[in-house]
Structure 1
Amino acid sequence: MLISRPFIEHISVKSFFRSPAAPPYISLNFKELCAAVTPSRLFVIPQFDADIEREFWQERYRVLLSPLKWALALGACAFLAYILLDLHTGNASRTNALLRLPIVLFLFGLFHYLQYSPNAADKINGVAKLSAGLSATHLTAVLLIDGNPRYYQETWPALLPMYFFSYGQMFMSLRATIGFGWSTTLAMPLAGYWLGLSVVDLIPSILNLAIVNLFGVCTRCQLEAYARNSFREKRKVEIIAERKTRFLRQLSHNLRQPLQALSCYASVMETACREPASQHLQHIAGRMGFAIDELNRAVNHILDIGNLENGTQRPLLTSVDINLLLSALENQFAPQAAKRGLKLIVHLRQSPPYSVQSDASILSQIIGNLLDNAIKYTDSGWVVLAAVKTGQDRLQIHVRDSGPGIAIDVQGEIFKEFVRGRRRNNDPSAHGLGIGLAYVATAIQHLPDHELALYSKPGRGCDFKLTLAIAPHCQPAFESPAATGDFAGRLVLIVDDDACMLDALSCQLQTWGCDVQTAGSLAETRMVLADNVRVPDLLITDFYLSNQETAHDIIAAVHADCGPVPILVLSAEGIGEEDKARWPAGTHLLRKPAKSDVLMATIVKALEHKSTDSQSK
């Protein structure tokens, strides 16, 4: 910390009277001096390597394509206006006007080329150099052909718009721009001198052109420095985002795979503990399964928030049947509410509208998080889930509870990551990391026409209101999808390159009565199919496998050997819409880690789709 001293005290020290140290002797030869005063050094213009330099100019040319086209059009119109004005005033004959007309046609031709050429952005540098050089040459040539010295004072100011054109934008490289400016500043006075003007007569034009060029060089250097700095910062952000995306993808795979295996093993253990000899372990198995489900939910929320923010997970807006969604959520959360002694009340729609426009998966997670939050925060009473029409094209989903409520001054805080309520911090029965509502807030930001509002007072409970757009009319559906099924004797082929995951899922399906075959690659899949005496009833495959193999390869091999087979893609990573579009009709997708009841319900759907196809045939 610096402490100021009084002036008298300051000058009393010996160092005050000591002569300042001589600056170090700097020796520069003429070549180094010239290099030190180049525009790139004077204006600190960032320099890139060859690849980055090419990307920088490609991006600049895409931005500058439209301004260059209109600059050419305006330049052609300006030349044409001067020609017509000279004809009108009698300063030019028709022959002279015809000699000056080609530059107008040439500039319009360049405009037409940039307008319709598919590779116009790659030609901006050449087009800009050509148009500027020929325009300046045209002015000089017309002046020399006329041979009248008095036209010089009318001609040289026409260079000024060209300087604004070249210095004010980055159509040409910095070297080409400076070369054009100073060469025309030299050529125009030489043409005037050739016509017989004295040096004294030329001094005003020389000074004006030189001053404009000096300011132009400064402006252009500052413009290029700013553009390059902006591009460099943008590249840094893109690289960080790319690294974050790659990290999340790797993290997603490395976490979801073992979590899916844990979920499968927990389901097998829970089933085994129902036997009379192991009933004393049933409680422990149930608690372990519950802890794994909570861990799965927390990991999914963290990864989904990251995927939404970096654009890896993009909402797919479709028509979502609200009654089916609410019924599924009721089946999912009714046991959790009953365990806490709460009454979960779900009001299905009895009249249109029955559907909303949203992403079915994200919407289910949003409402599920709101329900989970309401159940965990409510000590006694009820939780209500209902859908109410609030306008011509709006439906509002309410999640209300009889809990303690939230004070107004902290309502904005609950949507931040890792924020938990005071009661939950002191309640060991209320699990979670405080990221459920953070996911809700992030998801709402990425879903169009979705709004979330909260009404709450201490002691009055909470009412979360999710407003979304109504989808086109569809018939009501009140029944929830089947959650269980009889899989005895069903042959299931599982393909996954993770041996632990393969073993865990095999154990779970065998516990449900399935006959299971496994493979870890495309080659192993073909060997299993070659030994088969019956067609598999279901194919369950990971999407990304080793050796750059994907589910597309597995599906093609199975269909080529067995014909159409129901397919369930069980993947730890997000899958793009282009890949989904290549799947056969009726293919189902689940993200790892999937809970056992969700996995069972999806398998039932896939097998039902097969039976429906068989009946239709």
Structure 2
Amino acid sequence: MSKLRPNASSGRDAGGPKTGALDTGASGAMALQALDAQAALLPYALALFLIALPIFAWACSYAANRLWMAGSLLIFAVNWAVFYAAVDIFKRHPERRAEIGLRARIQVVAGLLWAGAVAQVAVLGLHAGPGREAIELVAVGGAAACIFFASPYLPSLLIVGPTASAAPVLALMLDPGTRPMGRVALGAIALVLALSLIFNRLLRRQFALATEREALMAERARSLDHAEALARSKSDLVATLSDEIRNGLTGVVHVLTAAVNAGARSGPSREQMAAALASAQDLIQALNATLDTEAAEAGRLTLETRPFDPARLLMEIVGAYRPIAAAKGLELSCHVEEGLAGAAVGDPARARQVVANLVANAVKYTVRGRVEIRAERLGEDRLRLEVADTGPGLAPDEIARAFEPFKRVPRTAVGVSGAGLGLSLSKRLAEMMGGALTAESAVTVGSCFRFDLPFDAEAAPAAGGKSSEASERALRILTADDDALASAMLRAVLEQLGHQVLHANDGRRAFELAQTCDLDLVLLSARLPEMDGPEVVDALRSLDRPVASAPIVTLIDGDAEEARACLKAGANGILRRPVNVGSVARAIAKAMREGEAPPQKLAQIA
């Protein structure tokens, strides 16, 4: 059987830009900044064009083909307008700004249009007569301008720069009379290219720093959001538990006060005792849900996955809640799809917790009518467990609120106890088991909650219940706990189950008693004075006596690290506080069944 544990959110690699190994997202962000920088330079190209216009007009006045030269000037201006219009499209449609591939192609093609206009001026300059050299130098200047305006984006610089420079330099080099000037132009173009590459390198470093800064700001914002959510969660936790603890303990205190003063006045009635017990049970449920929620949020909640019988699980839950439903005059029924062969796959204890919470809510909030539980197949590998009721129903916004931690629906929560954690925890548990928890409801009609789970038609449900003779007979059990109240409660539960109990107050005393007494099982706390639980387990397993193979169950407060330490030391099972008759019986039965298995085998957290 395998173990499932939710992975914590992986943090951002702090290296990234600092190490030079940028991921795809960072590279895309840098390319986007380069394209934006190139677009930002575009208006300055118009200013440069206006400055160079008088020089070009003066040179053209000496040319024999003035009209052709004027046409080339017009083509250059049209090309600039096309470039500007293409860039402006992305300004007017910000949602398309991040289409890096499309933007890059458009800006490179527009740069090549500029380069083509420069080449056309250079070719026409060959026939310009006395103004030829001046026109070719103007074309060289145009090529240098193309290089500069392409420099922010490296692919554009490497494509547009050489293309724009080739024609004017060749035009000067072809004529022996202008060849010396061609060599000067070639050197100037090489210098411009070198400076542009340096400029591009500096810009890329700035883009990398800006990308890293944005990532750090985003990480900081996420951290602040997480901290605020945590603060709100803690505040909701304190507020909710304050009400639950106050309400629960108030009823218990009243009954205990009446019992203490029973000599002077009548003692508490059976109804008062039942009310106090219900208050205490509500308080324990709220605390358990809170601990589970906090463990899930911290990634410390461990689940076991194995096949189990969904029909049996539903029937057990119906048996537990039918008396409560009958007391309210509600009909509680269960329908399992005929011929449902196979097994649900998940953590049976957590699946029981989810379904029990749904049934408890349905019974709690339904005033009249019925509660119906159904199990049916969904395809080949899914099972759906439904809990439908004829309660007050929920509106869509109320359903969303009901699934939020510490949130309760005011319309239905009046006069009903609860911490507002049941549904949110159940949804989280369902997702951790590879399933889902959804709801459909209508106000004044009722609600239907659907719990979907993985299903294996070929799997056989694991054996459950008291399947061995050892779990049915009275056992000699050694308990170890330094908490007097907790040990007294545990002893009462064990004796209620018919077992004989021997108790130790610390780990060393437990180790000594285990060596001298004939024991069937050891049940000890993970936190003990003298020797803690894992130390006692490890010491017992290392003995050369029959007690070394005795089943051992350790009590924990819900910490997954404690559970792992105990299981690693050799414990057969884990029992989480607070305990009750059912959880203790299941833990003992499981430990006795697996008593012959290797001690290091991971066991389910009861």
TM-score interval, normalised by the smaller of the two chains:
0.5 to 0.7
CA distance in 2, matches of 1:533, 1:328: 40
Compared CA separation, residues 288 and 520, structure 1 to 2 (3 A): farther
Render the CA deviation track for 1:170-223: whole Å, top value 9, x for unaligned.
xxxxxxxxxxxxxxxxxxxxxxxxxxx988753332232223222321321231
**Structure 1 gap segments, 5+ residues each:** 1-54, 68-156, 166-196
Alignment of 1:451-470 (within 5 A): 451-470=436-455
How many residues are aligned here? 412
**Structure 2 gap segments, 5+ residues each:** 1-12, 26-146, 156-181, 599-606
Find 1:536's aligned residue among 495, 498, 519: 519
Q: Which residue of 2 aligns with 1:589?
A: 574
Q: Which residue of 1 aligns with 2:215?
A: 230
Is 1:552 equivalent to 2:540 in the alignment? no
Q: Which residue of 1 aligns with 2:346?
A: 358
Question: Does the 8 Å CA contact 2:330/2:369 hold for their aligned counterparts?
Answer: yes
Q: Percent identity?
A: 21
Question: Aligned-pair RMSD on alpha carbons?
Answer: 4.9
Is 1:297 equivalent to 2:285 in the alignment? yes
Alignment of 1:429-468 (within 5 A): 430-448=416-434, 450-468=435-453
Q: Which amino acid aligns with 2:206?
A: C
Find 1:57's aligned residue among 5, 8, 15: 15
Find 2:413's aligned residue among 425, 431, 434: 425
Task: Give the secondary structure class of the aligned counterpart of 2:418.
Answer: coil
Q: Which residue of 1 aligns with 2:332?
A: 344
Find 1:392's aligned residue among 373, 376, 380: 380
CA distance in 2, matches of 1:350, 1:606: 34
Q: Which residue of 1 aligns with 2:57?
A: none
Task: Give the secondary structure class of the aligned counterpart of 2:517.
Answer: coil
Alignment of 1:310-349 (within 5 A): 310-348=298-336
Alignment of 1:127-526 (within 5 A): 202-227=187-212, 230-231=215-216, 234=219, 283-348=271-336, 351-408=339-396, 410-421=398-409, 424-427=412-415, 430-448=416-434, 450-475=435-460, 490-495=476-481, 498=483, 500-506=485-491, 508-509=493-494, 514-521=500-507, 523-526=508-511
Question: Does the 8 Å CA contact 1:381/1:402 hold for their aligned counterparts?
Answer: yes
Q: Which amino acid aligns with 1:493?
A: T
Task: Give the secondary structure class of the aligned counterpart of 2:458.
Answer: coil
CA distance in 1, matches of 2:475, 2:465: 26
CA distance in 1, matches of 2:346, 2:465: 19
Compared CA separation, residues 425 and 584, structure 1 to 2 (3 A): same
Find 2:548's aligned residue among 556, 563, 566: 563
Compared CA separation, residues 537 and 309, structure 1 to 2 (3 A): same
CA distance in 2, matches of 1:315, 1:234: 30
Task: From the CA coordinates, give the structure whose radius of gyration is larger.
Answer: 2
Cα deviation, residue 348, structure 1:
4.6
Question: Does the 8 Å CA contact 2:395/2:441 hold for their aligned counterparts?
Answer: yes
Task: Give the secondary structure class of the aligned counterpart of 1:412.
Answer: helix
Q: Which residue of 2 aligns with 1:105?
A: none
Q: Which amino acid aligns with 1:405?
A: G
Cα deviation, residue 56, structure 1:
3.5
Question: Does the 8 Å CA contact 2:538/2:570 hold for their aligned counterparts?
Answer: no
Cα deviation, residue 399, structure 1:
0.8
Task: Give the secondary structure class of the aligned counterpart of 1:341.
Answer: coil
Cα deviation, residue 312, structure 1:
2.2
Task: Give the secondary structure class of the aligned counterpart of 2:339.
Answer: coil
Compared CA separation, residues 58 and 215, structure 1 to 2 (3 A): closer
Question: Does the 8 Å CA contact 2:541/2:570 hold for their aligned counterparts?
Answer: no
Q: Which amino acid aligns with 1:494?
A: A
Compared CA separation, residues 375 and 481, structure 1 to 2 (3 A): farther
CA distance in 2, matches of 1:557, 1:232: 52
What TM-score does the superposition give when structure 1 sets the normalisation length? Answer: 0.55
